[in-house]
Structure 1
Amino acid sequence: MVQLTKEIKAAIDDSVLCWLATSSADNIPNVSPKEIFCFFEDHIIIANIASPQTVKNIRENKNVCISFIDILKQKGFQLKGIAEIIENSSKDFSRMEKVLLHLTEGKFPFATITKITITSSKPIIAPKYLLYPNTTEQEQIESAKKSYGF
């Protein structure tokens, strides 16, 4: 198990969406955006709002990959791990639900939660940081705002 560092936790807090990659028992991949996610202890938890394929795949194959970036800084992380579907009958569900309900403000019902135990992590950074090592986050933010019309 890989611990979630303060950098990973900060990146999660700075990200609006994450992308969860799963695979069926037949190794058919699926990538799905997730809006309601956060860290919980040393795990990532995601509210399963409209995720039938994700849940089905995790029940068949627990290996997942989750990626998230701050779209302005253009930095984030790719985390690989083992997923588990937490049912509302589980003793852990209510503790996790409280955290996720805070994010949904009660507007999106969910009956299960995906809990991911991280096994590896690596940073995601825009190529500009590599090609132009003196690029600051503030310069990258200004460049992204201009590109996205903010």
Structure 2
Amino acid sequence: MIEITADMQAIIKQAILSFVATVNEDGTPNLSPKASLTVVNGILFFADIASPKTILNLTHNPSIEINVVDIFQRRGYRFKGSASILSPGDDEYLTIANWVRATNGPEYPVDHVVRIDTTSINPLLSPAHVFANPPRSQEEIRMTYYKKYAVKPVGE
């Protein structure tokens, strides 16, 4: 398994929303948004709150890819690996289920928890990072996209 760095954890926490790709039985892709991606002890997990197709796909083929991008930093990561489906009663399941309910409320169902054993991690960078000439700082990029989306950082 590949190490999840502090920067990767920060991007996951800041971005909140990630996208999980699995493979349908007919070989076509299935893409599902997740707001429960988290890192515990250097391992990626997400909760099955409303993901019956994702879970079904993973029972047939554990291959998974997760993309997470902070829209203001215009960067993120692509995590590839193999998924394991954890059921209620498993210690890791309980850790993630308790976190989801503490974060969102006790009414949130957590049918399963998915653990991802990462096999590759690659950075995702937008053209704002790659093609800007002269290169722009992370702060310049962030401020540009705050303005573009008409938002202000929390605390300002």
Q: Deviations over 1:30-74 (max 9, x none)?
A: 001001221111211111111011000011110000011111111
Q: Distance in 2 between matches of 1:58 and 1:84?
A: 8
| Offset at residue 130 of structure 1 (A) | 1.1
- Which 4+ residue blocks in structure 1 deviate beyond 4 angstroms? none
Matched residue, 1:125: 125
Matched residue, 2:4: 4
* 1:108-119 equivalences in 2 (<5 Å): 108-119=108-119
Counterpart contact for 1:15–1:71, Cα < 8 Å: yes
Q: Which amino acid aligns with 1:47?
A: A
TM-score of the superposition, structure 2-length normalised? 0.88
Q: Distance in 2 between matches of 1:131 and 1:107?
A: 46
Matched residue, 1:142: 143
Is 1:29 aligned to 2:29, yes or no? yes
- The alignment yields a C-alpha RMSD, in angstroms, of 1.5
| Offset at residue 107 of structure 1 (A) | 4.3
Counterpart contact for 1:18–1:69, Cα < 8 Å: yes
Q: Which amino acid aligns with 2:78?
A: Q
How many residues of Structure 1 are paired with residues of Structure 2 in the alignment?
Answer: 150
Q: Distance in 1 between matches of 2:77 and 2:10?
A: 11
Matched residue, 2:57: 57
Which stretch shows the higher mean deviation, 121-130 or 97-106?
97-106
Matched residue, 2:154: none
- Aligned residue for 1:124, secondary structure, equals strand
Counterpart contact for 1:42–1:117, Cα < 8 Å: no
Matched residue, 2:44: 44
Q: Which runs of 5 or more residues in structure 1 are unaligned?
A: none
Q: Which runs of 5 or more residues in structure 2 are unaligned?
A: 152-156
Q: Distance in 1 between matches of 2:22 and 2:119?
A: 15
Counterpart contact for 2:58–2:83, Cα < 8 Å: yes
Is 1:81 aligned to 2:96, yes or no? no
- Aligned residue for 2:26, secondary structure, equals coil
Q: Which amino acid aligns with 1:65?
A: E
